[in-house]
Amino acid sequence: MKSVEPLRDIKTIKSMRAILKSQNTRNELLFILGINAGLRISDILKLKFEDVINFKNMKVLDYVIIKEKKTGKTKKFYLSSIVQKLIEKYIKEFNSISREMYVFKSNKGENKPISRQHAWYILNTAAEMIGLVKRDDSGKIIQGEIGTHTMRKTFGYHAYQNGTSLELLMDIFNHSCKSETLRYIGITEEEKRDVYLHSNLG
């Protein structure tokens, strides 16, 4: 699988959000949840409304408990205010929602989530519209491909830059060593680059 980098620039994140928002709230929420929860795309896409909403009062939950698809481990993650507000906006767009309904439901009619491939397409199309992704004449991506892992890495990168300890990020990502986490969130490559860029000897 091709390695992808996090979105380091806040302006890029805001531009991505603006494009996705202009499409629909589902696509905007996919991105905003992805960069604020640090989940794998497989766990994002399997979320149902019963996972994020208290159906007794129709309020968005403060936290969500899931069983990770890849590891089988139980994971608890919190919904930040920006995510909660977007979910509130999203549910108002439906005539009715059920517990079993997927949050990121496909538009094809049946109650199925969008595919991982479609999530990739949504993100890369938005990235292309803001100039982050470039294609050749045949449509093949030749520069700047982002993947569904980009969202998870973006969460980790900005959490680290804002002072979250490596130990805590290791726990969130289920990594076994610090170097793995640094590499995953794109810090190692960035720091290597800075060594060269700041070397102006002679």
Annotation says 89 is catalytic: no
Would you tell me how many other CB atoms lie within 10 Å of the CB of residue 94?
11
Measure the CA–CA gap between 127 and 27, rounded to whole angstroms: 13
Catalytic residue among 70, 73, 76, 92: 70
**Residue labelled with tokens 């608890």:** 76
Residue 154 to residue 148: CA distance in whole angstroms: 10
Which residue in 17, 46, 48, 152 is the catalytic one? 152
- Report the half-sphere exposure of 60 (CA within 13 A, side-chain side): 16
Instruction: Report yes or no: 27 and 122 within 8 Å, Cβ to Cβ.
Output: yes
Q: Which residue is catalytic, options 17, 40, 153, 158?
A: 40
Active site residue 152: yes
Annotated catalytic, 26?
A: no
- Clarify whether 17 is annotated catalytic: no
Q: Is 114 helix (H, G, I), strand (E, B) or coil?
A: coil
Kind and range of the H or E run holding 54: strand 53-54
Asked if 134 and 128 touch (Cβ cutoff 8 Å), the reply is yes
For the question of residue 149 being annotated catalytic, the response is: yes
Asked if 135 is an active-site residue, the reply is: no
Selecting among 17, 46, 149, 158, the annotated active-site residue is 149
Query: Where in the sequence numbering do the catalytic residues fall?
Result: 40, 70, 149, 152, 175, 184
